[in-house]
C-alpha cells in the first residue's frame, strides 16, 4: 500500500484542526484528490475517522510517552503521533509499518530544515506507545481510579467530561450503561438507507446484494458492502441515506391519529432534506401534502431537490419562528430542532471536540421558540413531533416541559405506542433512542397534541 492513504488522513486532520472543517463533507474531496478508491479509500477513512474519534484517549497515552506537555508539541506533529497511535492500538497494522510511515510523514511535513529531528522524535514516542497494547495502556492510565469514575470513562472512551456527565444524567436510573453507551459512540456506524415511499419499495431495496433489512424501521436497509453513492437508487433519489432513528420519528408522526385529517403536513426545520423527503412520501401515501420550511436558501434548494418529481410539496424559505406559512393550520407538524448532535457522535467523529456547554444556552431559546411556533401552527386535534438528535436533557425533556408548563390547550401523549416494533423504550411518554440499546442515533421524540 502506498502512503497516499496516510497522506489523505493527515490532510483531513489538518483541515478539521485549522479550518474547522466537517470531516464528512471534506473527506470525499480529499479521497478524490489523492485518487483513492476501494481498500485504500477505506484505510484512509478508518485512519482519519478513528483518530478524530479517539483523540482524547490517544492524547492520554501519548502524555505518558512525551517528556513535555502535549500542548507544547507542534500541532502538525501531534496529528502524526495520533495517526501512528491509532494504527498501533486500534488497527491491524504491524508496529514497524505504523512507526516507519509516521516517521516518513514527519520528514515530509512541517518546517524545514529539521525533518530528521522530527522523524527521530516521532520514532522515539511511537516506539514507547508500541511497548503496550490497549488493555495494558488502560491499566497504566487508569491508575487507582474506579471503573465507573466519570472522568476516567471520559478519558478511556474519548469524550469530553461535560458530555459524559450529561449522558449519565440522561440515562437516569440506567446510568450503569454509561460505559456501554460511550463505546457505542466510538464504534463507526454502517450506512443506513431508507426506501422512500412511492419511489422505491422496501422489497426492492432489500433485493440489492449490498443491502440487508434494518433492525426496526420497515423502510430501512443496512449497507453491508460499498458506499451509498455507488447504488443507482441512491443516486436517483429513490432511496436515501438516513439513520433508522430518523426514520422512526418520521414514521411515528405519520402514524398518529388525527381527527378530520385534511392531509396538511408541516416540517419547520427541513434542511438539508432527509426527513422532508421521507415525510413527502408518507404524506402522499395518505393523500396529503407537505409544506417544508428552511431558513437558509442553499438548504432550501437541497430540500426541494429531495422531493419526488411528481410531488406537489412546497418549500418555503424563511424563519419558522415567524410562521412564514401564514395563517394555515396543519394536521401534523415536525420540529426537527437544531441541536448539539450529541446523539450522532458515532457518525461525526470530530463533533465531540467541537461542541461546548455554551452551545446549549445558545440553542435552548431557539428550540423553545420553534416548539411554540409549531404549537401555534397545528390545528385542534392535530399533533406536533418535537425531535432532536441529542439525548441531553437540556435539549429534550427540559424544552418540552418548559413550553408546555403554562399551556392548558395541549397534552403530551405516549409516543411509544406509535413505535410498537421498537423494544426497550423506557417509561415514556417520550421516546429516547440510544446507540447502545437500539443501534440508532440518539434521537429524542415528544408527541404533543393540541386539544380539540
Q: Is the CB of residue 89 less than 8 Å from the CB of residue 129?
A: yes
Mean pLDDT of 105-111: 83
Q: Where are the alpha helices (DSSP H) in 211-308?
A: 232-235, 244-255, 274-285, 297-306
Residue 109's pLDDT band, with cuts at 50, 70 and 90, is confident
Mean pLDDT of 304-308: 95
The DSSP 8-state label assigned to residue 238 in this structure reads S
Same fold yes or no, 4-135 and 246-450: no
CB atoms within 10 A of CB 324: 15
Residue 2 has pLDDT above 60, yes or no: no
| pLDDT tens, residue by residue, 155-170 | 999 999 999 999 999 9
Q: Is the CB of residue 253 less than 8 Å from the CB of residue 383?
A: yes
| pLDDT tens, residue by residue, 414-442 | 999 999 999 999 999 999 999 999 999 99
Residue 1 has pLDDT above 50, yes or no: no
| pLDDT tens, residue by residue, 76-103 | 999 999 999 999 999 999 999 999 999 9
Residue 110 has pLDDT above 80, yes or no: no
In this prediction, residue 115 carries a pLDDT of: 74
**CATH 3.40.50.10190 for the 246-450 domain, yes or no:** no
User: What residue segments make up the domains of the chain, in order of their start?
Assistant: 4-135, 151-185, 192-241, 246-450
Task: Quote the CA–CA distance of 90 and 86 in Å, as a whole number.
Answer: 5
Q: Which CATH class is domain 4-135?
A: mainly alpha
Neighbouring-strand partners of residue 315: 292
**% helix / strand / coil in the chain, to the nearest 5?**
50, 15, 35
In this prediction, residue 23 carries a pLDDT of: 96
Task: Quote the CA–CA distance of 103 and 351 in Å, as a whole number.
Answer: 28
| CB contact burial 380-411 (16+ within 10 A = b; e otherwise) | eebbbbbbbbbbbbbbbbebbeebbeeeeebe
Q: What is the mean pLDDT of the chain?
A: 96
Task: Quote the CA–CA distance of 210 and 114 in Å, as a whole number.
Answer: 48
In this prediction, residue 114 carries a pLDDT of: 64
| pLDDT tens, residue by residue, 162-199 | 999 999 999 999 999 999 999 999 999 999 999 999 99
Annotated catalytic residue within 233, 269, 339, 389 = 389
Task: Quote the CA–CA distance of 377 and 333 in Å, as a whole number.
Answer: 8
Q: Where are the alpha helices (DSSP H) in 130-220?
A: 134-142, 150-156, 161-171, 178-185, 202-206
Does 389 qualify as catalytic in the annotation? yes
Mean pLDDT of 385-402: 98
| pLDDT tens, residue by residue, 437-452 | 999 999 999 999 999 8
Amino acid at each position: 500500500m502506498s502512503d497516499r492513504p496516510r497522506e489523505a488522513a493527515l490532510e483531513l486532520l489538518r483541515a478539521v484542526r485549522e479550518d474547522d472543517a466537517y470531516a464528512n463533507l471534506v473527506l470525499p474531496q480529499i479521497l478524490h484528490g489523492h485518487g483513492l478508491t476501494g481498500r485504500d479509500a477505506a484505510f484512509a477513512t478508518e485512519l482519519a475517522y478513528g483518530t478524530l474519534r479517539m483523540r482524547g484517549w490517544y492524547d492520554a497515552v501519548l502524555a505518558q510517552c512525551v517528556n513535555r506537555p502535549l500542548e507544547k508539541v507542534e500541532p502538525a506533529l501531534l496529528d502524526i503521533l495520533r495517526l501512528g497511535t491509532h494504527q498501533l492500538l486500534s488497527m491491524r497494522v504491524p508496529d514497524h509499518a505504523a512507526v516507519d510511515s509516521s516517521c516518513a510523514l514527519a520528514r515530509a511535513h512541517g518546517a524545514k530544515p529539521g525533518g530528521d529531528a522530527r522523524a527521530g522524535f516521532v520514532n522515539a514516542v511511537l516506539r514507547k506507545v508500541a511497548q503496550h497494547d490497549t488493555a495494558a495502556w488502560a491499566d497504566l492510565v487508569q491508575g487507582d481510579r474506579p471503573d465507573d469514575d466519570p472522568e476516567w470513562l471520559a478519558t478511556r472512551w474519548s469524550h469530553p467530561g461535560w458530555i459524559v456527565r450529561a449522558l449519565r444524567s440522561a440515562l437516569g436510573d440506567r446510568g450503569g450503561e454509561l460505559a456501554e453507551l460511550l463505546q457505542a459512540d466510538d464504534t463507526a456506524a454502517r450506512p443506513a438507507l431508507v426506501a422512500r415511499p412511492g419511489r422505491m419499495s422496501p422489497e426492492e431495496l432489500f433485493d440489492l446484494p449490498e443491502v440487508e433489512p434494518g433492525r426496526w424501521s420497515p423502510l430501512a436497509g443496512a449497507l453491508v458492502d460499498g458506499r451509498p453513492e455507488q447504488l443507482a437508487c441512491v443516486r436517483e433519489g429513490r432511496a436515501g441515506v438516513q439513520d433508522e432513528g430518523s426514520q422512526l420519528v418520521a414514521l411515528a408522526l405519520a402514524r398518529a391519529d388525527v381527527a378530520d385529517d385534511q392531509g396538511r403536513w408541516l416540517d419547520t426545520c427541513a434542511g438539508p432534506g432527509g426527513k422532508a423527503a421521507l415525510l413527502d412520501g408518507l404524506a402522499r401515501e395518505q393523500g396529503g401534502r407537505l409544506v417544508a420550511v428552511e431558513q437558509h436558501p442553499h438548504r432550501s434548494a437541497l430540500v426541494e431537490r429531495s422531493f419526488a418529481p411528481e410531488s406537489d410539496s412546497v418549500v418555503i424559505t424563511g424563519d419558522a419562528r415567524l410562521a412564514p406559512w401564514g395563517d394555515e393550520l396543519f394536521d401534523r407538524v415536525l420540529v426537527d430542532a437544531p441541536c448539539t448532535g450529541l446523539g450522532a457522535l458515532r457518525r461525526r467523529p470530530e463533533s465531540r471536540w467541537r461542541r461546548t456547554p455554551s452551545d446549549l444556552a445558545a440553542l435552548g431559546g431557539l428550540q423553545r421558540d420553534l416548539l411554540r411556533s409549531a404549537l401555534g401552527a397545528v390545528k385542534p386535534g392535530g399533533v406536533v413531533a418535537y425531535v432532536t438528535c441529542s439525548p441531553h436533557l437540556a435539549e429534550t425533556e427540559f424544552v418540552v416541559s418548559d413550553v408546555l408548563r403554562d399551556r392548558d390547550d395541549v397534552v403530551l401523549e405516549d409516543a411509544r405506542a406509535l413505535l410498537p416494533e421498537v423494544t426497550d423504550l423506557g417509561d415514556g411518554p417520550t421516546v429516547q433512542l440510544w446507540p447502545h440499546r437500539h443501534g440508532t442515533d440518539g434521537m429524542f421524540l415528544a408527541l404533543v397534541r393540541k386539544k380539540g
